[in-house]
Amino acid sequence: MSGAIESPATFVKQPVRASKWGEVIETMRRDWMLYAMLAPALIWFLIFMYKPMYGLQIAFKHFSAFKGIEGSEWIGFAHFMTLFHSDQFLRAISNTLVISFYSLILAAPVPILLALMINEVHSKGFRKTVQTVLYLPHFISVVIVAGIVIAFLSPTTGLVNTALRALGLEQVYFLTRPEWFRGIYISSGIWKEAGFDSIIYLAAIMGINPALYESAQVDGATRWQMIWRITVPCILPTIAVLLVIRLGHILEVGYEYIVLLYQPSTYETADVISTYIYRLGLQGARYDLAAAAGIFNAVVALILVLTANKISRRITRTGVF
Amino acid sequence: MAANVSLRNVAKHFGAVKVVDNISLEIEPGEFVVLVGPSGCGKSTTLRLVAGLEQISDGTISIDNRVVNNLAPKDRGVAMVFQNYALYPHLTVRDNISFGLRLGRMSKADIDAEVTRAASILELGPLLDRRPSDLSGGQRQRVAMGRAIVRNPSVFLFDEPLSNLDAKLRTQMRAEIKRLHSRLRNTVIYVTHDQLEAMTLADRIVVMRGGVIEQMGTPKELFDAPVSSFVAGFMGSPPMNLTPCSVVSNGDATSVTLGGTEKLSLPPAAREAINGTEQLTFGVRPEDIRLQPREGTQPINGLVELVEPLGGESLVHVRVGDDLFVMRAEGRTTVESDRPITLHLDMQRIYLFDRKGGRRVYHDMEATS
Amino acid sequence: MISTPIYSPGDRWFGRINTALLVVFALCALYPIVYVTSLSVSSGDAATSGRVWLWPVEWTLSAHAHVLQDKLFWTSYANTLFYTVVGTLTSLALIIPAAYALSKPRLMGRRWIGFFVAFTMWFNAGMIPFYLNLGDLDLLDSRWGIVIAFAVNAFNIILMRNFFESVSPSFEEAARMDGANDFQILWQVYIPLAKPAIATVAMLCAIARWNGYFWAMVMLRDENKIPLQVFLKKMIVDINLTEEAAGAMATQAYSLETITGAIIVLSMIPVVIVYPMIQKYFTKGVMMGGVKE
């Protein structure tokens, strides 16, 4: 090696990968079709996902529709200061966290329970029917769900109030009462999604080696014991990963459904960050301020999601349990 | 029809890993060459380099005296049969076979003629309108070959084509491939990890290891004159008994000790060949161990550990000190387990390998040829 | 567990209770749907006085007839069909080739491009810049705006890419030996092979199109372009929450409640009919997403 004179022969063989650019041109010539296939989607991402990111600068500007995004003047963090002195924004943050927290403890366990129960059904027909019925609400649009909720809770003619009247109780206009909003939101959410969300757990359960159950049976375990000693421990990693992912999304309470159900009298508990942005920006045309709220939300959400991802990756890799 | 294939100093790197390292190989027109070796030895990569599925990093590949380094697979005049057959499940057998022809500008009548020809060679006629999912493993294998045949390639490439079949079907398909080759007389490059397939099919076997050619030659050459303990241990079933031995020189006589206790004195030619090397591996084929003494045999004592009756013959596993020897005995042998036994080794047919590097240092060629 | 094991008496009771509870849950899932359906075919009088709770009372189709006479209902239904069919086809046309290219290890810059796509799942500009951007592109209040602005999402590309990656590379290699180029390989080999995965992605796109309302509501000013869900929102949510129209609308034959029910039922019918047939694709979609998420 040291000081060896390179013979011309070995020298000639090298320039196959002479330059990085030569290699790029070679791959382009070979794989141009792949790039042609990618191009439309990538252009789409550029226009509809990355261009708006450039537009995020209005959060630091005094946005004027006449001057446009670039022409508007910079004002630094003024909008953020405004937001953090706004009771409404702070309320939206706290509402978001509260709603997320409640759905985490109330709604998240339901799909697990359903999956465990469905797994105990042996009749194929019954099992399929139950699954079909339980998954159905997932496919019903939020508008219809809101419509059904409204119909149920209607103050004069709704079923709930009719029942209350029949019991001699006072009727309640639930949808105008802030104290009822979270309950309504979470329970209708469970109705809509719990069945469908059980699929992922059911898949995890199906992945358990049947021999575990067979040997437990030979050992005389009851079904109850098998659930607690085999099924639950085996799907714990899945549960943990999904829990972590949910935690990562704790700031993302969707506006689509809430916008349909809330009204000014329930903002107190119902207004979350995304609905606040919607009202401020799209309804109130305060684009710059709303964009600032959006940035704050997106950045915090990104950090949370990345952290959650890291943790869940660790769980899946090493199996914490 | 058949073409020669020539690999000169061919190399393939994936990053810093040299998967194929400076291989040179000349294949005659119509020759059936089998690349064999353990997984990861570079045999499949070599095949894929010839096919054009991978770009070579260095060297030249020519097919039919034409350098094909930068030619697309379809322009090389080769056809390939894949390990998992790669039959398109959504197409019928007919459409699978004619897939490549339909991509080109061939008239429908010509395509039909080609499909019919291939189908008659492979007896696929009644299956043409079925889908791959309705076929047995052997039938799928034949369809995969049909897809290769219709392209009239000058070189056939087979990538472990029989490894997905059960043992019985494998034997059957092996015979079929052999029959096909003797009929079509194309050049064939065939990759397998199964030495039995290599022995039965090949005109010439190329044993690969760690990206380089360990040895090439006719099946008989490889069996009788392995250049290294690696090849010796690879060819033959059961493989050659290979055991480390220590050399003891005592005046004019040189002997080796097996299993710590059993001494065998070496022929004079071996003594010269060893030339002072002390770290040796002793090799003897199971066929060259006998239960009765003969001319030129030397005895060693051991304990029968296991007798595996295979019907026509039995494999006897004998423990000699720390080593284990396998020998072939006849099917009705009276040898029983846990009994002492004396083995008679045919000293004219023994092998000695350098333990470092594994090169063969001694074998009496005349005894085996 | 393929066959039913032999159970002890205790375990049999466990099974029965489990079954009974599942029946209750299933009924809970169904009840709201049954309720609104019954409401929609009951008389307005019965509905307002709260006599409907499970089965129809004083059977009538007048609420349905009333809805079906509404021209806007039909317009929005047709619009939804357009958005669903054209939108889904557009999505597939963009997603499938991109996913195929991304699934090829030989694609130079694959990691970067993959990151470019996946990054949008973790971070996006949000509602306001997205909206302003649509305005810049002159896509507000435009049918094609709705179609194109929501045609692609990273998740579906990744779903599809995962499937393509699971296809044995020898399918591509065999086709390449036969002289096929990438377009031919995609069209003649991978797309037929990927039919189930494509169906899954198509269903995900279609159901999102059918059920989506928010952006259509935000973007579209022209009533003739609105999809069914926006029409529904106008008819159900907006009117009910103001409660003003309620009295004005009520007649003997139908009331706000029965009209609401009828609109819900009429818009739900296609989903409920098609759903059992496509259910398996969604189940598969969940699994496919779970593989590498």
Give rounded-to-5 percent helix, strand, coil for chain B: 30, 35, 35
- Look at residue A7 in the predicted model and tell me its pLDDT: 35
The residue count for chain C = 293
Decide if A72 contacts A62 (C-beta within 8 A): yes
Are the Cβ atoms of C129 and A294 closer than 8 angstroms? yes
Residue A32 with chain B: CB contacts under 8 Å? none
Residue that wins the pLDDT comparison between C235 and B63: B63
Query: What are B132's two structure tokens?
Result: 């791959």
Residue window 11-30, chain A: list those with CB within 8 Å of chain B. Answer: 13, 16
Which residue segments constitute the domains of chain C, with CATH numbers given? 70-283 (1.10.3720.10)
* pLDDT higher than 80, residue C209: yes
- The least confident of A10-24, B80-94, C55-69 is A10-24
In chain A, where the domains are located: 73-316
- The least confident of A220-234, B12-26, B245-259, C234-248 is C234-248
How many CB atoms neighbour CB C10 within 10 A?
11
Strands B155-159 and B187-192 come out as: parallel
What is the rounded distance in angstroms from the CA atom of residue C265 to the CA atom of residue C252?
Answer: 21
Decide if C90 contacts C156 (C-beta within 8 A): no
- Predicted model pTM: 0.83
Q: Which residues pair with A144 in a beta bridge?
A: none
Query: What are B111's two structure tokens?
Result: 């395509």
Chain A: residue whose CA lies nearest to B59: A13
* pLDDT higher than 90, residue B93: yes
Mapped onto helix, strand or coil, the DSSP state of residue B279 is strand
Residue that wins the pLDDT comparison between B236 and B8: B8
| Nearest CA distance, C82 vs chain B (angstrom) | 31
What is the rounded distance in angstroms from the CA atom of residue A296 to the CA atom of residue A298?
Answer: 6
Residue window 119-148, chain B: list those with CB within 8 Å of chain C. Answer: 147
* pLDDT higher than 90, residue C6: no
Are the Cβ atoms of C126 and A277 closer than 8 angstroms? yes
Q: Touching check for A33 and chain B: CB below 8 Å?
A: no
Of A33, A55, A130, Cβ closest to residue C125: A55
> What is the three-state SS of A15-81?
HHHCCHHHHHHHHHHHHHHHHHHHHHHHHHHHHHHHHHHHHHHHHHEECCCCCHHHHCEECCCHHHH
Amino acid in the structure at residue C131: Y
- Look at residue A186 in the predicted model and tell me its pLDDT: 92
* pLDDT higher than 90, residue C67: no
pLDDT more than 70, % of chain C? 90
C-alpha pair distances (Å), B272 with each of A217, B262, B276, B282: 70, 22, 8, 16
DSSP alpha helix (H) spans, chain B: 43-51, 93-103, 108-122, 137-149, 167-184, 195-201, 219-224, 229-234, 268-274, 365-368
pLDDT for B328-351, tens place per residue? 888 777 888 888 888 898 888 888
- The least confident of C82-86, C88-92, C230-234 is C230-234
What is the rounded distance in angstroms from the CA atom of residue B192 to the CA atom of residue B41?
Answer: 11
ipTM of the complex: 0.87
Q: Touching check for A141 and chain C: CB below 8 Å?
A: yes
- The least confident of A126-135, A260-269, B171-180 is A260-269
What is the rounded distance in angstroms from the CA atom of residue A152 to the CA atom of residue A140?
Answer: 16
* pLDDT higher than 80, residue C187: yes
What is the rounded distance in angstroms from the CA atom of residue B311 to the CA atom of residue B332?
Answer: 8
For B209, list phi and psi in degrees, rounded to 5: -160, 125
Chain C: residue whose CA lies nearest to B105: C179
Decide if C94 contacts A41 (C-beta within 8 A): yes
Q: How many CB pairs under 8 A join A and C?
A: 279
* pLDDT higher than 70, residue C4: no
What is the rounded distance in angstroms from the CA atom of residue A274 to the CA atom of residue A260?
Answer: 13
Tell me the pLDDT band of C287, cut-offs 50, 70 and 90: low
What is the rounded distance in angstroms from the CA atom of residue A168 to the CA atom of residue B168?
Answer: 83
Tell me the pLDDT band of A11, cut-offs 50, 70 and 90: very low
What is the rounded distance in angstroms from the CA atom of residue B145 to the CA atom of residue B132?
Answer: 13
Residue that wins the pLDDT comparison between B37 and C276: B37
Mapped onto helix, strand or coil, the DSSP state of residue B65 is coil
Task: Choose the CATH number for A73-316 among 1.10.3720.10, 1.10.520.20, 2.60.40.1930, 3.40.50.970.
Answer: 1.10.3720.10
- Look at residue B293 in the predicted model and tell me its pLDDT: 87
Q: Touching check for C170 and chain B: CB below 8 Å?
A: yes
- Look at residue A187 in the predicted model and tell me its pLDDT: 92
* pLDDT higher than 50, residue A15: no
Q: How many CB pairs under 8 A join B and C?
A: 56
Mapped onto helix, strand or coil, the DSSP state of residue B320 is strand
Are the Cβ atoms of C178 and B88 closer than 8 angstroms? no
Residue B58 with chain A: CB contacts under 8 Å? 13, 16
Mapped onto helix, strand or coil, the DSSP state of residue B145 is helix
For A65, list phi and psi in degrees, rounded to 5: -60, -30
Q: What is the mean pLDDT of residues A295-300?
A: 89
Residue C194 with chain B: CB contacts under 8 Å? none
Q: What is the mean pLDDT of residues A219-244?
A: 87
Are the Cβ atoms of B100 and C189 closer than 8 angstroms? no
- Look at residue B240 in the predicted model and tell me its pLDDT: 92
* pLDDT higher than 50, residue C88: yes
Optimal mutation site among A10, A13, A14, interface B, most CBs of chain B within 10 A = A13
Residue A13 with chain B: CB contacts under 8 Å? 58
Residue C255 with chain A: CB contacts under 8 Å? 157
pLDDT for A178-211, tens place per residue? 888 899 999 999 999 999 889 889 888 988 888 8
pLDDT for B226-243, tens place per residue? 999 999 988 888 889 998
pLDDT for B295-311, tens place per residue? 888 888 889 998 988 88
Name the nearest CA neighbour of A269 among A188, A182, A189, A183. Answer: A182
What is the rounded distance in angstroms from the CA atom of residue A216 to the CA atom of residue C5?
Answer: 12
Decide if B138 contacts B168 (C-beta within 8 A): no
Mapped onto helix, strand or coil, the DSSP state of residue B208 is strand
Residue B132 with chain C: CB contacts under 8 Å? none
What is the rounded distance in angstroms from the CA atom of residue B283 to the CA atom of residue B27?
Answer: 31
What is the rounded distance in angstroms from the CA atom of residue A106 to the CA atom of residue A313?
Answer: 25
Residue B83 with chain C: CB contacts under 8 Å? 170
Q: Touching check for B54 and chain A: CB below 8 Å?
A: no
Residue C178 with chain B: CB contacts under 8 Å? 74, 99-100, 103, 147, 151
Query: What are A183's two structure tokens?
Result: 């309950």
- C-alpha count within 13 angstroms, C-beta hemisphere, residue A131: 25
Sign of the alpha-carbon dihedral angle for C33, C34, C35, C40: positive
Q: What is the mean pLDDT of residues A174-179?
A: 86
Amino acid in the structure at residue B200: T
